[in-house]
Amino acid sequence: MEKVILLRFGEIYLKGKNRFSFEKQLLDNIELALRGLKHRLARMHGRYLIENLDPNDVTEAELRIKKVFGLISYSEALKMPTDLEAMKRECLAYLPESGTFRFTVNRADKKFPLNSQQIAMELGGAALAYNPALKVDLFSPDKEVFVDVREEGYSFVFADKVPCAGGMPVGCSGKGVVLLSGGIDSPVAAYRMAKRGLKMYGVHFHSFPYTSPMAKQKVVDLAKILSEYQGGFLLYVVSFTEIQQQIHEHCPEEYMITIMRRIMMRIAERIAIKEGCGSITTGESLAQVASQTQESIRVTNETVMELPVFRPLIGMDKEEIIATAREIGTFDKSIEPYEDCCTVFLPKYPVIKPKPELIRAAESKIDYEALIDAAMGSTEVIKL
């Protein structure tokens, strides 16, 4: 008998003939998450198993696997050869001293002579004989004990199912870039797309000296948090100072934000194509700010020539976004008081419903292609 961690996956069950490729990606991601910990990862029918862990590493291993997209839950379990008498003995340790209990049995091994209900009755009878103070409650027990009888000749006993991140394995949907600011929204957008299997690359626009080194460090720290969900993160830090100065000096004030966003999207597309990414993700939410109206989004989108633009937060309100940020651990870092480049040269009255022809005419007053080339040439790449 051995203490193990039992892993369960979710949506992969729905895949057909290509299910193997999704499982392989998930297994690779689990191994990456457990890097540096002595272990053995075993594959069973519909389950994965982490064995041979140092008892001192169990907590750290569980913290890591909770963030692996594709896994829906895990349990600390006792692995034993399938034997009814051994189950009766070992299950006693999982029961309370008094109160109510229930055994929930899953019999995947159809060759075992008893069905799930019969196994549960045998285990319950042994528990009541051992401790008459206990009572069975099938509907709302104080303690539920799970027994999983597998086809491989082993059974697992456990008392809890701990939720994991869910979603799809990172990498199974390809790669994408995210416009990563220091705010609350964009890290959540990156998280949501990674949950759908995209390996995310970050693009951050930095306007030193108008924004401080601490503003840049805040984004690096956010990228570190995101890296825990996808086994690493590549962050492009683009110097945006000269571009913003040129927009400020030569373009109408009310169009500054829109023109800035258009140039950001052009740069993001260049980086995406360079990295072999198939999409661009932003943290925009409809009507949250002036640059996030239907008209502004349309004008921004027209600068992206080859790739789709994903906006996973488009229908979420701020409280929903904040709740997710708290859940994934980015909120406290996002609200640190360091301004990003979007706060530099803010117009008093930004245009809410920009007309494409007027925006094109306004941005033609600067040589944005040359400015983009210069910004790309001085881009810093940070590997996390």
pLDDT in tens, 18-57: 888 999 999 999 999 999 999 999 988 778 999 999 999 9
Classify residue 56 by its DSSP letter. Answer: G
Q: What is the pLDDT of residue 342?
A: 58
Contact between 313 and 283 under an 8 Å Cβ cutoff? The reply is yes
In our burial notation (b when 16+ CB lie closer than 10 A, e otherwise), range 281-304 reads bbbbbeebebbbbeebbebbeebb
Answer yes or no: is pLDDT of 359 > 90: yes
Pairing, β 2-9 against β 134-136: unpaired
Question: Largest Cα–Cα distance of the chain, in whole Å?
Answer: 87
Task: Calculate the average pLDDT of the chain.
Answer: 93
> Would you mind telling me the total number of residues written for the chain in this entry?
384
Strand partners, 76: 5
Same topology, domains 2-163 and 175-383? Answer is: no
Q: What is the pLDDT of residue 368?
A: 92
Average pLDDT over residues 308-315: 97
Answer yes or no: is pLDDT of 229 > 90: yes
Rounded to whole angstroms, the Cα distance separating 311 from 309 reads 7
Q: What is the pLDDT of residue 13?
A: 72
Domain locations along the chain = 2-163, 175-383
- CA distances, 29 to each of 66, 293, 354 (Å): 12, 38, 44
Torsion angle (degrees, nearest 10) of CA 239, 187, 202, 252: -40
Q: What is the pLDDT of residue 208?
A: 83
**Which band of pLDDT confidence, cut at 50, 70 and 90, is reported for residue 351?**
confident
pLDDT in tens, 70-93: 999 999 999 999 999 999 999 999
pLDDT in tens, 288-311: 877 788 999 999 999 999 999 999
* AA identity, residue 166: G
Contact between 83 and 45 under an 8 Å Cβ cutoff? The reply is no
Contact between 194 and 69 under an 8 Å Cβ cutoff? The reply is yes
Rounded to whole angstroms, the Cα distance separating 263 from 21 reads 37
Answer yes or no: is pLDDT of 196 > 80: yes
The CATH number of 2-163, from 3.40.630.10, 2.170.150.70, 3.30.2130.30, 3.30.930.10, is: 3.30.2130.30
Rounded to whole angstroms, the Cα distance separating 297 from 211 reads 25
Average pLDDT over residues 321-341: 90
Rounded to whole angstroms, the Cα distance separating 34 from 85 reads 35
Determine phi and psi for 142, rounding to 5 degrees. Answer: -65, -35
* The token pair that represents 251 in the structure block: 């373009």
Rounded to whole angstroms, the Cα distance separating 130 from 146 reads 18
What CATH number was assigned to the domain covering residues 175-383? 3.40.50.620
Under DSSP, is residue 55 helix (H, G, I), strand (E, B) or coil?
helix
Instruction: Strands of 143-263 (E only): list them.
Output: 143-149, 154-158, 162-163, 175-179, 199-206, 234-239
Average pLDDT over residues 201-214: 88
Q: What is the pLDDT of residue 341?
A: 59
Average pLDDT over residues 194-203: 97
Q: What is the pLDDT of residue 345?
A: 65
User: Among candidates 66, 82, 204, which has minimal Cα distance to 154?
Assistant: 82
User: Among candidates 155, 120, 171, 145, which has minimal Cα distance to 44?
Assistant: 155
* The token pair that represents 101 in the structure block: 């209990």
Percent of the chain with pLDDT over 70: 97
Q: What is the pLDDT of residue 253?
A: 85
